[in-house]
Amino acid sequence: MTDAVLFEQKGMTAILTINRPKANQLSHDVFEGFKDLLDRSRSLRGFRRFYTC
């Protein structure tokens, strides 16, 4: 997993935050980070919503 996307859980909500300085640009690392975290979240039950920042 990359540090380009951060994961935080608050109750039944998962928060994915783009952690890229300079306007939080989208990059290959960001897309890979989203993919990795979403794949990981499938094994964690109980999420009702996801937010991205």
30 pLDDT band, cuts 50/70/90, is confident
Domain around 46: 5-52
More confident position, 2 or 50: 50
Of 43, 18, 22, which Cα lies nearest the Cα of 31? 18
Question: Which pLDDT score is estimated for 1?
Answer: 47
Q: Which CATH number is 20's domain given?
A: 3.30.300.220
Indicate the average pLDDT of the chain: 76
51 pLDDT band, cuts 50/70/90, is low
Question: Which pLDDT score is estimated for 2?
Answer: 58
Domain count across the chain: 1
